[in-house]
Amino acid sequence: MKKRLLIMAAAAAVLLIGVGVYILTMPAPANRLSDCNVVVVVIDSLRADHLGCFGYGRDTSPFLDSLAGQSVFFDRANSVSSYTCEVVPSLLSGLLPSSGGTGTGWLSMPPAAENLGEHFGAAGYKTGFFTDQPVLASLPADRGFGEVDHVEKRWGISQVGPKLSARALEFVRQNKRQKFMMYVHYMDPHAPYDPKKESYLRFSDKVYPKPLNLYEQVRPVIPQLVSEGFGPGEARFEDLMLRYDAEIYEADTAIRLLFEGLNRQGVLDKTLVIITADHGEEFLDHGYVEHAWRLYAESVHVPLFFYAPKFLRPARVSEPVSLIDVAPTVLDLAGIRHGRTDFDGTPLFRRDSLTPVYAPRIKPLIAELLMETRDNVRMVIDGDYKYLAGQRWLTAAECAHQASVQDKELEQLRVGELPRIDPWGPVVHEELYNIKEDPGETRPIQDEGQVARMRQVLDQYKSFCQAKPKMGPEPVKSQEREMTEDEKERMKAVGYM
């Protein structure tokens, strides 16, 4: 009888999913995660509500949706910014942008605090950093990783995801006999939204013949386009969003290839995989497009899965969390001793039982966007309320103007002719939302008591940041130089110049 029960239990642990067969067992003792590999997957510009697991109508993410059902899935995860160069250093270091001490905005630099690559390397793991996002080649976010490969340094190149997965799997092949940790950052679905024809036709019976270029034909002329009817239901707008969705599907396919390769090499069942995005993307939700302009939900609400079904029981967690929680959580799950007490985030799992922490958040969520040529705004989420405090607040028309002149202004900033912003300047614009009743943040509310409480949160954060010792070189001094022609071309091609 005992033998029969064991056979039945083993049979129940076999799970078939769309692209292959993965053998999953019931959760093992908690300390076994310390024997696992760790893979952090970041998908650029992926807004959460364009995934099927968040209820999206198009089938953009069949593989990610299957993973969500096998993972601890945090459905209210928020990024710390809507700009990659502010997010990635925070994700890897566990420090918020201003808390890191080495600058934000265009001149953002990784803090001197140890990042995940350094922590895992010191613990004896083989570490790798692989990406096709060119902006990360000029930002030393890969500091401390043992093996680094920027597989695509040209800007505006889509469809590189499978090549990136293959490169990451080569690292795994070389190091699978020992523990490894790697960071894999996929560029798609970042603009310019250039998917394969067959991916596009997954969602349409024909290809739109006159697609608009986001950077040249949309951003600088949004008011004119909107006056012409550009928006939901209009052909040019729908094509723009469809191309974005098609690139989500291509990123989904690339990640499926990564998982299939991990499974073939026999390491998937002893690997913790964290899947998230650096930020989202705007599609006129609040009057503008792209990202790194605002901190509304479409820009900062991101997916966050912790996949290790042999060790973590699948669950869907609705408590709000932040990407700032990822670093302390990963180190805690891996059992890595580090001695740091400066993390701005908190572990998301109980160490003894490996179950999610279902409890009201002690620290409010904070996000920051401090762009010298764009918006300067901070976000606070506390309970059911979200507060936006802008030191510089641009209308859609002003965003369009900045999109046309920021090339010149960014060059002036780089050479010191344009002054840096005061990161703690006076607030000129405030908005408050009840995100439980209004998750799309379309109906600002008046509640002076809540606003005063949110102001106090930011005042405390300001005092905390200003009291911290500087952790690295002053960003202005280290960045006041003429950009190389290569750097200029990279920034232009991705739309930042």
95-145 pLDDT, tens per residue?
Answer: 999 998 766 788 788 888 999 999 999 999 999 999 999 999 878 889 999
Please indicate, yes or no, if residue 451 is contained in any of the structural domains: no
Share of the chain above pLDDT 70, in %: 88
Please indicate, yes or no, if residue 24 is contained in any of the structural domains: no
- Which amino acid, 439? P
Please indicate, yes or no, if residue 415 is contained in any of the structural domains: no
Per-residue pLDDT, 433? 98
- Which amino acid, 310? K
DSSP per-residue letters across 230-299: -STTSHHHHHHHHHHHHHHHHHHHHHHHHHHHHHHTT-GGGEEEEEEES---EESTTS-EESSS--SHHH
Distance from C-alpha of 42 to C-alpha of 327, rounded to nearest angstrom:
13
Q: How many domains does the chain have?
A: 1
Burial class, 339, CB count within 10 angstroms (exposed 0-12 / middle 13-18 / buried 19+):
exposed
Query: Per-residue pLDDT tens for 326-346?
Result: 999 999 999 999 989 999 999
Query: Per-residue pLDDT tens for 236-249?
Result: 999 999 999 999 99
Please indicate, yes or no, if residue 394 is contained in any of the structural domains: no
Res. 391: pLDDT tops 70: yes
Res. 473: pLDDT tops 60: no
Domain of 295, CATH number, reads 3.40.720.10
Task: Map residue 452 onto helix, strand or coil.
Answer: helix
Q: Which comes out higher in pLDDT, residue 19 or 186?
A: 186
Distance from C-alpha of 80 to C-alpha of 95, rounded to nearest angstrom:
10
The residue among 73, 181, 164 whose CA lies nearest residue 127 is 181
Per-residue pLDDT, 3? 39
Res. 257: pLDDT tops 60: yes
The pair of three-digit structure tokens given for residue 118, joined into one six-digit string: 């350094």
Instruction: Pick the range with the lowest mean pLDDT from 134-143, 289-298, 433-442.
Output: 134-143
Please indicate, yes or no, if residue 21 is contained in any of the structural domains: no
Strand (E) or helix (H) holding 412: helix 396-414
Instruction: Pick the range with the lowest mean pLDDT from 165-174, 180-189, 350-359, 459-468.
Output: 350-359
For the entire predicted model, the pTM comes to 0.89
At residue 48 the predicted structure's pLDDT band, cuts being 50, 70 and 90, is very high
Please indicate, yes or no, if residue 230 is contained in any of the structural domains: yes
Distance from C-alpha of 210 to C-alpha of 240, rounded to nearest angstrom:
10
Are 307 and 39 contacting, i.e. CB atoms less than 8 angstroms apart? no
Res. 90: pLDDT tops 80: yes
Residues in the chain: 497
At residue 12 the predicted structure's pLDDT band, cuts being 50, 70 and 90, is very low
What average pLDDT does the segment 264-269 reach?
98
What average pLDDT does the segment 213-231 reach?
97
Greatest CA separation found in the chain? 81
Are 40 and 88 contacting, i.e. CB atoms less than 8 angstroms apart? no
Res. 179: pLDDT tops 50: yes
At residue 353 the predicted structure's pLDDT band, cuts being 50, 70 and 90, is confident
The residue among 474, 493, 490 whose CA lies nearest residue 137 is 490
Burial class, 293, CB count within 10 angstroms (exposed 0-12 / middle 13-18 / buried 19+):
buried
Per-residue pLDDT, 436? 95
Per-residue pLDDT, 396? 96
Q: Which comes out higher in pLDDT, residue 87 or 5?
A: 87
Region of 91 on the Ramachandran plot (φ > 0 left; ψ -120 to 50 alpha; else beta): alpha
Res. 94: pLDDT tops 80: yes
In degrees to the nearest 10, what's the CA dihedral of 226, 230, 236, 237? 100
Please indicate, yes or no, if residue 432 is contained in any of the structural domains: no
Please indicate, yes or no, if residue 302 is contained in any of the structural domains: yes
Per-residue pLDDT, 476? 35
Cis peptide before 189 (omega within 30 of 0): yes
Are 164 and 151 contacting, i.e. CB atoms less than 8 angstroms apart? yes
Strand (E) or helix (H) holding 77: strand 77-78
Are 435 and 398 contacting, i.e. CB atoms less than 8 angstroms apart? no
Res. 32: pLDDT tops 90: no
Instruction: Pick the range with the lowest mean pLDDT from 40-44, 400-404, 414-418, 473-477.
Output: 473-477
Per-residue pLDDT, 394? 96
Distance from C-alpha of 217 to C-alpha of 269, rounded to nearest angstrom:
47
Distance from C-alpha of 370 to C-alpha of 392, rounded to nearest angstrom:
9
Query: Per-residue pLDDT tens for 478-496?
Result: 333 455 565 555 545 444 4
The pair of three-digit structure tokens given for residue 458, joined into one six-digit string: 């930011």
Beta-bridge mates of residue 20: 17
Task: Map residue 367 onto helix, strand or coil.
Answer: strand
What average pLDDT does the segment 265-270 reach?
97
Distance from C-alpha of 152 to C-alpha of 137, rounded to nearest angstrom:
9
The residue among 302, 272, 322, 307 whose CA lies nearest residue 91 is 322
Share of the chain above pLDDT 90, in %: 75
Per-residue pLDDT, 408? 85
Per-residue pLDDT, 139? 82
What average pLDDT does the segment 164-179 reach?
97
Parent domain of 164: 35-364
Distance from C-alpha of 24 to C-alpha of 394, rounded to nearest angstrom:
50
